[in-house]
Amino acid sequence: MKIINIYDAKTQLSRLLREVAAGEDIVIAKNGTPLARLVPYQLKGEVRELGFARGRIRISDNFDAPLPQDLLEEFDAGSS
């Protein structure tokens, strides 16, 4: 990990970004106190294509039907 002061970071930003892209972590400091860290940007996983699970998942026709009265009463009994 490389530590560099703010002034040098401002004047050498392009070079520092090339180093970060190559995998280097760089800490930017003010008067020797670390303030920020430059690290390579990483995507949060792959973007999934819509419909990728088509044919693998089945939702029943009554999925959003009202619950039976006895089950609703169980929910109400647990809230008191």
Is 51 a residue whose pLDDT tops 70?
A: yes
| Length of the chain as a residue count | 80
Amino acid at 17: L
Amino acid at 46: E
Q: What is the pTM of this model?
A: 0.52
Is 44 a residue whose pLDDT tops 90?
A: no
Report pLDDT digits (tens) over 2-25.
999 999 999 999 999 999 999 899
CA distance 15 to 68: 66
- Quick count: other Cβ atoms within 10 Å of Cβ 49? 7
Give exposure, 1-35, as e/b (b: 16+ Cβ within 10 Å): eeebeeeebeeeeeebeebbeeeeebebeeeeeee
Q: Which domains does the chain have, with CATH numbers?
A: 2-38 (3.40.1620)
